[in-house]
A and B are shown apart, each in its own frame.
Chain A
């Protein structure tokens, strides 16, 4: 049994325009030491999935399905029991290091808080542990930094503090939601290296959420591509990047500007685009959520929930598409041109 098993997870948000299915029928599992990347554009449900795992959905959200952590279904836990899990066994690094630290409390207070609550440490023990953690995440003169306030740190340092907080109770599952989006590219590299090192060293499971295919490609073993709340393709990173099997994954990959394209007068000076817009969750089709933007979709796609096909069976590379052969065919010439 895997450490974390998510089965048929559905998150529905009640909005003024009707129910929005933010996550639909999502299943994945994750073991200790494994890293999973969730990639997709805004509104694809990747952050909602993370919030559902932590039981932090907004009040208008309803979750069905199951989230098993070590065989215990988190969705059946009451709020008190969930508090014992959140920050303790599953913890999260949020996107905005500027806004997710409390500006009125010192770094020390914020890093020690989970240890005081979950692990029953004394103040002194927690403080010593906090110094060790801050040193581990690469903050210089950590002991003095405990008394600093968030505004006295740079963005990269704040994100390091967030990582130290998330690690403080040695969680089994670490969720990083766009951990580097707010950071400069040279700092992004440092933070991704740090997360990868810590995850490998502690043998925890990592869920990395990002819209950046490059970050995903370099950091995780397995990828889950989401679109319109549904998982459209999943597989080991190497296999997925080699055979982009879903039309959305193909489109997303083609739309990313790549370094070394030779400039605007060079080859490939035009980016491929996915026609249309990222749809709103309330008006998504009942079948394949990508149907209205897909170039190989036909009449049945919008109304039929796509079936899951194996792309590479042994590797666990699967795609949810009604026309996987057409998708494969259109990917082949693109590949020849690379």
Chain B
């Protein structure tokens, strides 16, 4: 029997209807996710990269069952979450936890660290006080904070330490999956490195699975086994991180990699993508990237390419794959 993946997303669709602007026209629809499929096996990590508005945060929220789906399904450890009532869903939530982007906004400033970290336990698991304190102390130690820190308030910590608290809060229920939405983008470089290493250590130690959302390609390459590149609500390229970064196939992935400034002095003349990311309202019929693609052809505007395997485990959605 093959192992059940920790996350299995099949054809996830999420559309947001905007307020109606005219009586005579249908309201506009933001097509945030248009059929996204992926799976992550136990102890592995998937990084989702893309520019703002590509739907990566919506994807994280859909996986966390914080958003209803408009199509498709998400299974966590083989179990459906769609349609569960609130209590049944809450019971499942201990298996998947989230780390948010902003370590300043995501911790309650009026609660002490001990209470912040213990809150998921109180809500999700019935434990005695002594046991709860023990779990909190364990998890605080494993993210590299001092035992005395549990009696402090969030404002007494720096950004990197706060993100450690947020990670501790996610870890305390011993989840199999942690969804991290831009966990280091608010941190300074030297502190970011500490948090990235911590994420790797925790994975080695506890075997957690990560779904990591980031706009920073190098960060994803460091932490993730696999990477999925999203553009306007669809995955355009998906594969092992090292393989995708070394041999990008989709023109968008190539442009994205090309645009990252390198640590090499001197100005480089490079092909730049022109234009902006299109609005996810009223997407074109064909490939969503057609308007900015340097290699666009007529057929790109007529039909939408689907993900096809270009190498083992490496998929790209482009008519020009070969």
Contact = CB atoms under 8 A, between A and B. Distances in A.
Please determine whether chains A and B interact with each other in the same assembly. Answer: yes
Interface of A: 41-42, 154-157, 184-190, 192-193, 196, 211-215, 217-219, 237-238, 240-241, 251-253, 255-266, 269-274, 277-278
Given A188-B259, A271-B193, 6 more contacts: A186-B255, A214-B260, A217-B262, A259-B262, A263-B240, A278-B158
Given A257-B222, A264-B225, A269-B200, A212 B191 contact: no
B188 A214 contact: no
A46 to B, nearest CB: 12
B189 A193 contact: no
Given A41-B188, A257-B193, A274-B190, A196 B221 contact: no
A260 B267 contact: no
A128 B267 CA distance: 33
Nearest to A200: B267
Contacts, number: 150
Chain B, interface size: which category? 35 or more
B52 A184 contact: yes
B200 A264 contact: yes
Contacts of B255: 186
A252 B261 contact: no
Interface of B: 45, 51-52, 158, 160-161, 188-194, 196-197, 200, 215-219, 221-225, 240-242, 245-246, 255-257, 259-268, 270, 272-274, 276-277
Contacts of A187: 51, 276
Going nearest first, the 8 A-B pairs with the smallest beta carbon separation are A214-B261, A263-B242, A257-B218, A255-B193, A184-B51, A271-B193, A41-B188, A274-B190
A184 B215 contact: yes
Report which residue of B160, B255, B272 has the largest number of chain A beta carbons within 10 angstroms of its beta carbon. B272
Nearest to A256: B189
Contacts of B263: 213-214, 217, 241, 253, 256, 258
Contacts of B189: 41, 211, 213, 252, 255-256
Contacts of A273: 190, 193-194, 197
A41 B187 CA distance: 9
Given A213-B263, A214-B261, A264-B222, A193 B51 contact: no
A278 B265 contact: no
A28 to B, nearest CB: 18
A225 B2 CA distance: 53
A288 to B, nearest CB: 16
A186 B293 CA distance: 12
A237 B266 CA distance: 8
A202 B222 CA distance: 41
18 contacts: A184-B52, A185-B215, A186-B273, A196-B267, A211-B189, A218-B264, A237-B265, A241-B263, A251-B190, A257-B219, A260-B245, A261-B222, A263-B222, A263-B241, A264-B222, A264-B241, A272-B193, A277-B160
Contacts of B225: 263-265
Contacts of A215: 261
B142 to A, nearest CB: 17
B261 A269 contact: no
A264 B224 contact: yes
Contacts of A42: 188
A262 B260 CA distance: 16
A213 B224 CA distance: 23
A251 B273 CA distance: 33
Contacts of B257: 259
Nearest to B201: A270
A273 B162 CA distance: 17
Nearest to A43: B188
Nearest to A40: B188
A217 B268 CA distance: 10
Contacts of A156: 276
Contact of B272 (A154, A193, A240, A269): A193
A259 B217 contact: yes
Nearest to A42: B188
A215 to B, nearest CB: 5
A185 B158 contact: no
Contacts of B241: 263-264
B226 to A, nearest CB: 9
Given A196-B267, A238-B265, A277 B246 contact: no
A277 B222 contact: no
Contact of A271 (B216, B222, B264): B222
A190 B256 contact: no
